[in-house]
Amino acid sequence: MWIETLKNGKYKYNERYKDPYNEKTKYVSVTLAKDTPQAQKEALRLLNEKIDRKIQKQTQSDITLAELFEKWQALHFPSVKSRTKLTYSQTIYYANELLDTSSLVRNIDTSFIQSFFENEKIMKQSNGYKKNHKMVLNMIFSFAEDMGYLQINPVKKVKVPKKEKTIDQINNIRNKYLTMEELSELLKAMQSENNNYCLIAEFLARTGLRYGECIALCEENIKGDKIEIVGSVDSINGIAKPKITSPKNLNSYRVIEIDRRTKEILNMQIERNTIFSVNERYCNDEKRIFCTRYGGIVSNKEFNKFLKSAKEKTTIKKELTSHIFRHTHISLLAELNVPIKAISERVGHGNQSTTLEIYNHVTENMKSNIVNKLDKISLL
């Protein structure tokens, strides 16, 4: 330590240290009013504290895998939706069960993570689940890399074993959406039992909105011949405490054009709500368009339950949930030769894999139909 006398009469205490990252010599200093033995002792203490803070190497951290999970969850969970938390939590649950979470993060390598994916419990899971596991682990170890807990993200080179698709799985794409005939048959069955649910289903099929986006739609979101999607209903923790949240991702914030029938459905719902609003039990301050007779949230669980009931009155064999109408909308647009990019933007897809899967299947069928139509043409 050396001391400099400043022009203002104070004293600058200096000390050098070696930067652990580039091994270059650097300096720290403190300024005190006096140059006495007590002042020198205090200056030395302050300088050492400064140096300790400067050279604290996170790469030498003794953080364990369990501690990393806790740190990552504390940082990321407050900013994500309940369903996303469930996805993250599933991976962490299996990792806690199948990996030694007392392991030091700095010592974890690719083979350590590879053992997770080669465990029998994970091997039995679908390719989609395994893909999610790798995504979550990659996020966690990217965070660890950024924080300096280890040098290289070990997840990047992990190979995820994939199950071979069965014939049923390959053909399963056709079960993800309804044909025009199936949609018409289902809507007629629904209308005879519950017209409110029927209108929700038709609205979903005509707009491609997610169920939560549809239920969160308010009168103020109608902009003439367009609607803006700025919210979603999150009822993952039960319908007792549903809440309006932001949409699923940035691509989900969008404005879409609507056809005449869709606008008619919206007007019918608003008129219905006005009639029901005279009831003292009615409560819908947000003026949500699709609601119960008392202004409450229309539960996705109850809606899906009704779909299964209505299905029994049809010839449809496909599994029915509210999400099938979103896929149906994609298939309808594909049949109308709407470009894939325009479809993805309309439905708010950040990842186009599902859109492409349905689009390609529909367009392949359209090609087959062309040949069938040509076969029926007799020119001579």
274: phi then psi, degrees, rounded to nearest 5: -65, -40
Per DSSP bridges, beta strands 222-223 and 226-229 are: antiparallel
Among 349, 334, 158, smallest CA distance to 253 is for 349
Catalytic annotation, residues: 210, 241, 323, 326, 349, 359
Among 107, 98, 97, 185, smallest CA distance to 152 is for 107
Pairwise CA distance, residues 349 & 128, whole Å: 17
Residue 26: strand pairing partners? 17
Q: Which residues contact 221 (CB under 8 A, 6 or more apart)?
A: 227, 228, 229, 230
Three-class SS of 280-291: CCCCCCCCECCC
Burial 50-73 (b: 16+ CB within 10 A, else e): ebeeeeeeeeebebbbbbbbebbe
Query: Torsion angle of alpha carbons 45, 50, 55, 58, nearest 10°?
Result: 110
